[in-house]
Chain A
Amino acid sequence: MKKKCLCAQFFFVVWAVVLGVSFLLPSDACAHRVNIFAWVEGDTVLVECKYPDGREVHEGVIRVLDSGGKELLNGKTNAMGEFSFKIPQRDDLTIVLEAGMGHRADWLLSKQDLAPAGEAPKPEPAVPSQPVSENQAPPPVAKESALGAAPPPPAGIDQAIEKALDKKLAPVLRMLAEMHEQKVQLRDVLGGIGYILGLVGVAAYFKRKP
């Protein structure tokens, strides 16, 4: 009887310590995994590599593969865990990070993500009322502005917009990168412990003495 009591005591001490620690360190996840995030700025692809606890991956090997799995280029991340390269070709690019000791992660950039400003084939013009030919621009401007409609954008504005958007979106992309890093959450921990308790029950059922 006494022994059972002590066993339960020990069990709860361990339980309390473990839960306490996991409560205290909710954001401090493990270095069991690496995260990679890549985005396009102009004609450059930027790659950011981090461990889930926020440390940067130094000297991680980056390999860029095309849709056929052929290696296009490779390199190493810098001290900030970043790597950048000019878009080698318009294809679905897989960016693979190998951080050594069995850590690996990849990120897929699809063809659409890579469309650089100006060069991209645009099936639909941004403004539907845009005149087809640039040469004929002046007369419709006068006509449309007389009608109170917006003047058509001058040539090159697409690039300017893309550039401005890239600049404005950079912090948003960074935020997305941070959100993409899956952190260990308490509900996962509790769920896992629940599974183990359930399996103990299953094992006890099958191993029970008749």
Chain B
Amino acid sequence: MHISEGVLSGPVLLSGAALAAAGTAIGLKKLDYEQIAKAGMLSGAFFVASLIHVPLGPTSVHLIMNGLVGLLLGWAAFPAILVALALQAVFFQFGGITTLGVNTLIMALPAVVCYFAFSPLLFHRRPLVVLSAAFACGFFSVFLAGVIASMALMFTEENFWSVAAMVVAAHIPIMIIEGIVTALCVAFLKKVQPSMLPACSRKEGP
């Protein structure tokens, strides 16, 4: 879902970059000292996640992990994902420098949306609710990323619905896998390090 250089028109690139810059500014403002290490860890995880391939039938898909990054970081997902994408563009030639803004928006906006949608459910009494919230977070962050990518592409490719249907259909397997991985991570963190989860740290705070 990394959009290459030379695909999008100037206005799309500029508005993507502007929105990504705004998100990053908010993220940096909200990033407090205690969160820095966590943001760095998740940025690193996002950076390498796309190298992890899950074999699936004749082909293989790779993890994206923007759901987990968003769930644990909130607005700070913007700078974390921006850094990871910039490094992916430079080192792996995924995406590109001019499309960095758009790609950041594609990955980070769903992360933040899912944070606000699902993090309140993480400390529900029933574990089933918690797990389904985590699953939905992983699932919908990829789904929304596909929708935003299609919105960016619709100015250059045919029409929105065909592009969106294609992008979303191609990512259905990864949505399910992301959901499972996010659920497993949340279950693990709840046992081992619950303070990493957002609702908990808010409760523990002053």
A28 to B61, CA, bound (A): 11
Q: Mark B1-31, 1 if CB is under 8 A from A, else 0.
A: 1111111100000000000000000000001
Q: Say which one of B41-49, B111-119, B127-135, B136-144 lies at the interface with A.
A: B41-49
Indicate if the CB atoms of B170 and A101 lie closer than 8 Å: yes
Indicate if the CB atoms of A196 and B170 lie closer than 8 Å: no
Interface size of B as a range? 35 or more
A residues 1-54 in Cβ contact with B at 8 Å:
3, 6-7, 9-11, 14, 18, 21-22, 25, 28-34, 53
Indicate if the CB atoms of B192 and A104 lie closer than 8 Å: no
Query: Which residues from chain A contact B159 at a C-beta distance below 8 Å?
Result: none
A122 at the binding interface (Cβ < 8 Å):
no
Q: Say which one of A111-119, A136-144, A199-207 lies at the interface with B.
A: A199-207
Q: Mark A88-108, 1 if CB is under 8 A from B, else 0.
A: 000000000010111111100
Sample of 19 further A-B pairs with CB below 8 A, known A10-B192, A102-B1: A18-B48, A18-B52, A29-B51, A29-B92, A30-B53, A32-B50, A33-B2, A100-B166, A101-B163, A102-B4, A104-B4, A106-B6, A189-B48, A189-B91, A196-B44, A204-B36, A207-B32, A207-B33, A208-B33
Ordered by A's residue number, 29 sampled pairs between the chains whose C-beta atoms are within 8 Å are: A6-B192, A6-B193, A10-B196, A18-B48, A18-B52, A30-B50, A31-B59, A32-B2, A32-B88, A32-B95, A33-B4, A33-B93, A33-B94, A55-B59, A101-B153, A101-B166, A103-B7, A104-B5, A188-B92, A192-B48, A192-B84, A193-B44, A193-B48, A196-B47, A197-B44, A203-B36, A203-B39, A204-B33, A207-B36
